[in-house]
Amino acid sequence: MSAAPATALSPTRYRVRWVMLAYLFGFAFIAYMQRTSFSVASAQMMPELGISQIQLGWLMTAYLVTYTVFQLPGGVFGQWLGARRGLVITTAVALLATLATPLAPLWFKGAALAAVLLLSRLAVGAAHAPLFPISTGMIEAWFPVGRWGWPNGLQSAGMQLGSAAATPLIALLMVTYGWKQTLVWTSLPVLLLIALWAWYGRNRPAEHPGVTATELAELGAPHAEPPAASMSRRDLMRVLGNRDVVLLAVSYTIMNYVFYLLASWSFLYLVQERHLSVPDSGLLGALPFIAAAIGCAVGGKLTDRCAARFGARLGYRIVPLIALPLAGLLQYVGVKVGNPFWAVGALSLTYCAIEMTEGPYAAATIAVAREHSMTAYGVVGTGGNLGGIIGTPLVAWFTAHGAWTAAFLTGTVAAVVSGVMWLWIDASRVIGADGGDSSGSAAGG
């Protein structure tokens, strides 16, 4: 479809790109509500189904394995199929796989049930994997050059608010209705989101009938051109071999060790180590996710301002270099303080500081990769989620032996190391069309 012509009202008309971002926010909200619901429901699921804490850790790891393995294929898939169809397909698969967890015990027992639970976690992970690679490419296409940190931060806030909503909602509902009914009924609203996106979503601004000529001009001429139908092997190798993409992936791996430690284990930490009730832990356990959502938004906004003022090379480094070591310090305070409510506060601030870096990681990836942002973020996401694969069974082992303090202190070290690595990341080195890198500022606009 062609873009709607500009009118006298077009300078003050709403921008369609923000509606598109609202949809991406919704997909992130739903995905993280689904994954966090499993963690919260495990408090009832483990004794009812006879699952040990170590077995729970392996179920969480199964999710992370496919979530990690399918990051890069998910980015290539999104670049080939387009965000509109790609998100419909992957979100529908995630919904069906999520529903398999509460429904499986109705028909299966013993080893068969264990196999179904394992397969469902593998399927949910594979279906969630393309979300952020696809979203990163959408943000590159729909937002002006150098203004990628803020929308990426806002979408990341959506994932944290999804977790924040799931923690008290699932904890409170399953006290009355049990974990099976709770997981079923809280999963179904995603059907409405899928239907609305299939109707409204578009891959590029020029394809949307609501985008005016004014908005197209704000985005720049390249955004008005249709994307390539596929990615060549040469393009893929350029992305895989890019120095800054690799450094971003390694730093993101280490940072995500801390992310998964906080996201997956905070609820059980409050129940088992701080001896709070399930409803209290559900309410207090939502605070770190709310703080993280604030951190995502603030970090994204600061990233764009720093990049505009100092350029891509220094501007994208500033927030991670400050926030990540600060997160390590706050995490240490959180496990050492005696009062459980002070501990919740310190862990909340830790999560806030960690998530301030989501915008910089995504924006720096876009600045380096540009039209190949979906695939490049697939590489970064693959590396990032290795932190979860490494950390989840390790933290499960620590916590099964009551060593919660030791588990959280490993996160302190990881936060500092991931921050220091940003000294070697240079987002001004754009992957060039000639197969090499070209130096240029991605900030501005």
Cα 250 to Cα 148, 159, 256, 363, distances in angstroms: 21, 22, 10, 16
Whose CA is closest to 345, among 389, 290, 303, 287? 287
pLDDT tens-digit readout, 127-142: 999 999 999 999 999 9
- Position 313: which residue type? R
Annotated domain spans of the chain: 16-439
Query: Which residues have a Cβ under 8 Å from the Cβ of 434 and sit 6 or more positions away?
Result: none
Q: Which residues pair with 430 in a beta bridge?
A: 438
Average pLDDT over residues 171-199: 92
Residue 184 phi/psi, 5-degree rounding, is -65, -55
Query: DSSP state, 10?
Result: T
Contact between residue 57 and residue 398 where contact means Cβ atoms under 8 Å apart: no
Q: 419 is written with which tokens?
A: 């921050």
Helix (H, G, I), strand (E, B), or coil: what is residue 54? helix
Res 10: pLDDT: 42
pLDDT tens-digit readout, 39-81: 889 889 988 998 887 788 788 888 988 999 999 999 999 998 9
Res 279: pLDDT: 60
pLDDT tens-digit readout, 339-398: 777 778 888 899 899 999 999 999 999 999 988 999 999 999 998 888 877 887 888 888
Task: Report the C-alpha gap between 302 and 318 in whole angstroms.
Answer: 9
Chain mean pLDDT for the chain: 86
Helices vs strands, H then E, count in the chain: 17, 2
List strand residue ranges (DSSP E) for 266-360, in order: none
Q: 62 is written with which tokens?
A: 């199964």
Class for the domain spanning 16-439: mainly alpha
Res 4: pLDDT: 42
List strand residue ranges (DSSP E) for 319-396, in order: none
Whose CA is closest to 374, among 233, 236, 234? 236
Task: Report the C-alpha gap between 261 and 365 in whole angstroms.
Answer: 24
Query: DSSP state, 5?
Result: P
- pLDDT score of 37 more than 80: yes
Task: Output the pTM of the full model.
Answer: 0.83
Res 347: pLDDT: 83
Distant-in-sequence contacts of 36-39, Cβ < 8 A, 24+ apart: 36/162, 36/163, 36/166, 36/167, 36/170, 36/263, 36/289, 37/98, 37/166, 37/170, 37/182, 37/183, 37/186, 37/187, 38/63, 38/101, 38/121, 38/183, 39/263, 39/264, 39/267, 39/268
- pLDDT score of 414 more than 50: yes
Contact between residue 375 and residue 369 where contact means Cβ atoms under 8 Å apart: yes
Res 440: pLDDT: 46
Task: Report the C-alpha gap between 99 and 91 in whole angstroms.
Answer: 12
Query: Which residues have a Cβ under 8 Å from the Cβ of 135 and sit 6 or more positions away?
Result: 24, 27, 28, 83, 152, 155
Task: Report the C-alpha gap between 350 and 333 in whole angstroms.
Answer: 9
- pLDDT score of 432 more than 60: yes
Write out the DSSP string of 152-166.
HHHHHHHHHHHHHHH
pLDDT tens-digit readout, 82-121: 999 999 999 999 999 999 999 999 898 888 888 999 999 9
pLDDT tens-digit readout, 299-351: 999 999 999 999 999 999 999 999 999 999 998 887 777 777 777 888 889 98
Element (H, E) at 430: strand 429-431
Element (H, E) at 429: strand 429-431
Task: Report the C-alpha gap between 155 and 24 in whole angstroms.
Answer: 6
Query: Which residues have a Cβ under 8 Å from the Cβ of 192 and sit 6 or more positions away?
Result: none
pLDDT over 70, % of the chain: 87
- pLDDT score of 145 more than 70: yes
- pLDDT score of 210 more than 80: yes
Element (H, E) at 437: strand 437-439
Whose CA is closest to 266, among 281, 247, 249? 281
Q: 193 is written with which tokens?
A: 């989101």
User: Is residue 20 very low, low, confident or very high in pLDDT (cuts 50, 70, 90)?
Assistant: very high
Q: 20 is written with which tokens?
A: 């598109």
pLDDT tens-digit readout, 222-255: 444 444 446 678 888 999 999 999 999 999 999 9
